[in-house]
Structure 1
Amino acid sequence: MSGGKHTALIAGSGRLPAIVQEAVPDILVCEMIGAPCHLDGYHLRFRIERLVPFLDELADRGIERVVFAGAMQRPAIDPEQFDPRSAQLVPRLAMAMQAGDDATLRAVIEVFEEFDLEVVGAHELVPALLPEAGVLCGKPSAVDEDDAERGAEIVAALGASDIGQGAVVGRGLCLAVETLPGTDAMLDFVRHHKGLRGDLKAVKGVFYKAPKPDQDRRADLPAIGVETVKNAAAAGLSGIAFEAGGVMLLDRDAVIEAAEEAGLFLWARAS
């Protein structure tokens, strides 16, 4: 991987920002105040209320491309902190935020591009994050394959409404879908509630994950990590299926090892 002297990382929480930082030497880590990233080293911190001065500073530093990585909670906004130019962006971004996460990210990307910054995906800087199609460990049964197919249908419907990127299906029944609280909350829900109905007690189920249809894949591309595997195992699932080329596998060797230890299959499923 070439150096990141002219690349800025807008870093959120989770493992992905660290993976990008490790893979791209000299990358400039940028941390939004109110949404810490927990990375070591020097950070250029900025306020969302002063977005335009931040973009000006990136230009002054010779930054040419930007990558967004990690989960980022929306910070509390202080109206008194807005500078005049950033304030002009508020109606545009507020309208996008009402439309959903994907619309918000598209609007943010457009703003960065208007300042002559190329926005790239984390997987473009670290291609190994995207496994090729195939079963990485374990062996999905015929029932699992049917559940993965049904999960793909559900996730496509969810994504079309900009709701979520994951679902759990057991013997054709939708046990849970991913919403604003995220994947871990969904899997925890399955762990607590799957056995409430007698006809579900023997059902394991499959967690399926994929990007939203027509999603801008330069930001918010779904990811699976070791914690995802642990939570899927705790939920009593038989495995995890995900769209090949559309879901990042964080710390691949560790994820596969965790799945093997838990007796789960991992399947990068061709869409």
Structure 2
Amino acid sequence: MTGAAKTAILAGDGVLPGVVAQALGDAGTPPLVLALEGFPPALPQGIAAESFRLERLVPLLDRLVDEGFARVVFAGAIRRPRLEPEMFDPRTAALVPRILTAMQQGDDGALREVIAIFEDWGLEVVGVDAICPALVPGEGVLAGEPSAADRADAARAAAILSITGPLDIGQGCVVVQGLCLAFETLPGTEAMLEFAALHQGLRPRPDGARGVLFKAPKPGQDRRIDLPAIGPDTVAQAARAGLAGIAWQAGGVLLLDREATIAAAKAAGVFLWARA
């Protein structure tokens, strides 16, 4: 990726902000990394982050415009932070009713409103996949080989998410032998897989298919923000849950640390499949 546009990364937990920052630096446009206070990203050596608070959002937006930034990338996991009313500046406080109204529509509504606010300041919001397209695999099996039963479980999981996704519930579920064993809700993927591990004895046929984790964006989701992701930790969690593999919507899920994730899957006997 090339281009001279000054870019800021709004960073949350995890390795993704560092991956994006490294890619921008390699392309000749080192970014400004801004980490939401309380959600420190894992950054490579030599890349630093400044912390910010949502209560001071408007001064931050003004700074980005004044310093000539043109683009913003949201990267990393962020849960809803606890806001301190006394820390709001007057102009940011004026945005609160707008944001709260959007939050009542769920995470997707809140994120779309956040994007709209940045765009109101003339800042282009771009997706991680626009900066690092190699993070989003196309269709194909990357490790192992899903059986016919596994493919059926993945299809069942995809059908479930196609119905629940518009309700803004989650981006993943676990299906075992055609039955939904676990579903991603607000606590996230790790909590879902811990639940699946605790209840893996519920398989109808103990010697049958072991089950599949499936991930996909929500239907109609703005893919510039909050794309689902998998990485080595996801593989380890799926293995502990006794699952046969991980499938996801091809072109719609970020694969972090590709080589390590594939190696971990092969070592654990877990398949990885980007499903069309």
Q: Does 1:94 align with 2:91?
A: no
Q: Does 1:168 align with 2:171?
A: no
Query: Structure 1 residues 57-66 or 37-46, which shifts more?
Result: 37-46
CA distance in 2, matches of 1:254, 1:191: 23
Aligned to 2:271: 265
Aligned to 1:252: 258
Query: Structure 1 residues 33-42 or 64-73, which shifts more?
Result: 33-42
The residue type equivalent to 1:92 in the other structure is: R
**Kept after mapping to 2: 8 A contact 1:148/1:208:** yes
The residue type equivalent to 1:14 in the other structure is: G
Distance 1:73 1:237, change over 3 A: same
Q: Kindly state the Cα deviation for residue 88 of structure 1 after the two structures are TM-superposed.
A: 1.0
Alignment counterpart, residue 189 of structure 2, candidates 151, 161, 183: 183
Q: Does 1:22 align with 2:27?
A: no
Aligned to 1:106: 112
Correspondence list, 1:122-133, <5 A: 122-133=128-139
Aligned to 2:66: 60
Aligned to 2:222: 216
How much is the aligned-residue C-alpha RMSD, in angstroms?
1.4
CA distance in 2, matches of 1:81, 1:268: 44
Q: Kindly state the Cα deviation for residue 232 of structure 1 after the two structures are TM-superposed.
A: 0.4
The residue type equivalent to 1:29 in the other structure is: V
Give percent identity, aligned residues only.
Answer: 57
Aligned to 2:9: 9
Q: Kindly state the Cα deviation for residue 199 of structure 1 after the two structures are TM-superposed.
A: 2.5
Unpaired segments of 5 or more residues in structure 1?
none
Q: Kindly state the Cα deviation for residue 42 of structure 1 after the two structures are TM-superposed.
A: 3.5
CA distance in 1, matches of 2:16, 2:24: 12
Alignment counterpart, residue 84 of structure 2, candidates 56, 78, 98: 78
Q: Kindly state the Cα deviation for residue 38 of structure 1 after the two structures are TM-superposed.
A: 4.1
**Kept after mapping to 1: 8 A contact 2:36/2:54:** yes
CA distance in 1, matches of 2:262, 2:145: 13
Paired positions, count: 269
Aligned to 1:226: 232
Aligned to 2:39: 35
Distance 1:141 1:219, change over 3 A: same
Per-residue CA shift, 1:132-160, capped at 9, x if unaligned?
10111111111111101000011122211
Q: Kindly state the Cα deviation for residue 21 of structure 1 after the two structures are TM-superposed.
A: 1.3
The residue type equivalent to 1:27 in the other structure is: P
CA distance in 1, matches of 2:19, 2:79: 20
CA distance in 1, matches of 2:71, 2:196: 40
Q: SS state of the match for residue 33, structure 2?
A: strand
Unpaired segments of 5 or more residues in structure 2?
none
Q: Kindly state the Cα deviation for residue 84 of structure 1 after the two structures are TM-superposed.
A: 1.4
CA distance in 2, matches of 1:262, 1:174: 23
Q: Kindly state the Cα deviation for residue 37 of structure 1 after the two structures are TM-superposed.
A: 2.4
Q: Kindly state the Cα deviation for residue 82 of structure 1 after the two structures are TM-superposed.
A: 1.2
Normalising by structure 1, we get a TM-score of 0.95
CA distance in 1, matches of 2:48, 2:132: 22
Alignment counterpart, residue 199 of structure 1, candidates 197, 204, 209: 204
Q: After TM superposition, what 4+ stretches of structure 1 lie above 4 angstroms from structure 2? A: none
Q: Kindly state the Cα deviation for residue 4 of structure 1 after the two structures are TM-superposed.
A: 6.6
Normalising by structure 2, we get a TM-score of 0.94
CA distance in 2, matches of 1:87, 1:4: 33
Aligned to 1:239: 245
Per-residue CA shift, 1:187-224, capped at 9, x if unaligned?
111111121x4735334101110000000000000000
CA distance in 1, matches of 2:23, 2:68: 20
**Kept after mapping to 2: 8 A contact 1:135/1:266:** yes
Per-residue CA shift, 1:99-158, capped at 9, x if unaligned?
211111101000000000000011110010011101111111111111010000111222
CA distance in 2, matches of 1:198, 1:249: 28
Query: Structure 1 residues 152-161 or 33-42, which shifts more?
Result: 33-42
